[in-house]
Amino acid sequence: MNIDRYNDLERIAKIVLQKNLNRAFQVRGEQNNNWVFITEGDEYLVKFTTKEEFKRLETEAALTKLMGDSAGVPVPKIIHIGEYDGEYYMIRTLLKGESLGEVLNQGMIKVLGEDGIGTMIFEAGQALAKLHKVSFNKKGLIHKDLNVVEYNIFSKEEFMSFLNTVYEFKCVTEEQYTYLNNIDIDDIYSGEFVLCHCDYAPNNMLVCNGHLSGIIDYEWASAAPCYDDIAAFQVFMKMYDMEQFIEYFYSGYKSVKSIPEKYFDNIHIYKLYRVITMLACQLNQPEDRQLKEFKEDCIKLLEELMI
């Protein structure tokens, strides 16, 4: 960890919290894809991002309100987004609970039982289906005014950009590259354009007292077909060695909205696209921003999917 960087962001987090909430806070920081600082008592979170990604924070604020109002999904309250001393940040409330990712382990199965884990997975499926009931008339990135800016997301063009990165880093063979290059991605990803989270991972879901208590981190949400969100959750369940619970997820989703049969016909391709996307994004990061264990998990899963 870069201690000077940590100390600088800690200082700024305290300043912007006091400026916007009119009281002083002690904070603790942690780094995932971005630096975040959490206040004592777990009331508020300050999330830092790059200047290039700042517009996504503005979009996240608008989407958080949309998801809370229209989709009925529990979401945090956005307090402020802004810039201070060259650093771009968001302040939001912290929802009660711990991440679902922290609960998905064999030890917690013994504590909560399979039905206890299954209930939370079922509710994760329900919440995603509620998001997917919000529809759009075109595909693309969602702007802060909630209009859609057309972008070729989940397309052959986008897929090849990720695949080329993975190939350049020798994570697929030439034969595998040729096979993947020949997939008709545009046809497989055609469908209704709905509100997609685009990072529907257990770490972005909060649970409390055995139930889903919130969905967070909407900065990459888009208007697109539903397939990637559904496949992404199954990919993450595989990474957590919890894929045996996926039927709870499907049941929860289908209690709100049907899953297109096309999804199950092409599920292997949707998983491949998701894993290749995540791996390419890690490979494109500077070494000090790569999540090395996550990158290795992606490589391992890609190898399994290519057998």
Question: What CA–CA distances, in Å, run from 23 to 40, 51, 58, 95, 299?
Answer: 12, 27, 24, 20, 46
| Same-domain status, 108 and 227 | yes
Q: Among 43, 78, 93, where does a domain finish?
A: 93
Burial of 82 (0-12, 13-18, 19+ CB in 10 A): middle
Cα 305 from Cα 307, distance rounded (Å) = 6
In which region does residue 128 sit, left (phi positive, over 0), alpha (psi from -120 to 50) or beta (all else)? alpha
**Residue 282 has which token pair?**
């890690």
| Same-domain status, 125 and 262 | yes
pLDDT of 145: 87
CB–CB of 79/93 below 8 Å?
Answer: yes
pLDDT of 91: 96
pLDDT of 176: 98
Number of independent structural domains in the chain: 2
Cα 306 from Cα 158, distance rounded (Å) = 20
| Same-domain status, 123 and 61 | no
Averaged confidence pLDDT in the chain: 93
Q: Which of 241, 239, 199, 235 is nearest to 216 (CA)?
A: 199
**Domain extent at residue 49:** 3-93
Question: Which CATH number is 296's domain given?
Answer: 3.90.1200.10
Instruction: Identify the segments of the chain with pLDDT beneath 70.
Output: 1, 70-71
pLDDT of 194: 96
Q: What is the model's pTM?
A: 0.85
| Same-domain status, 239 and 281 | yes
pLDDT of 241: 94
Listing DSSP states for 117-156 in one string gives: HHHHHHHHHHHHHHHHTSEESS-EEEPTTS-EEE---SSH
pLDDT of 164: 98
Cα 92 from Cα 25, distance rounded (Å) = 14
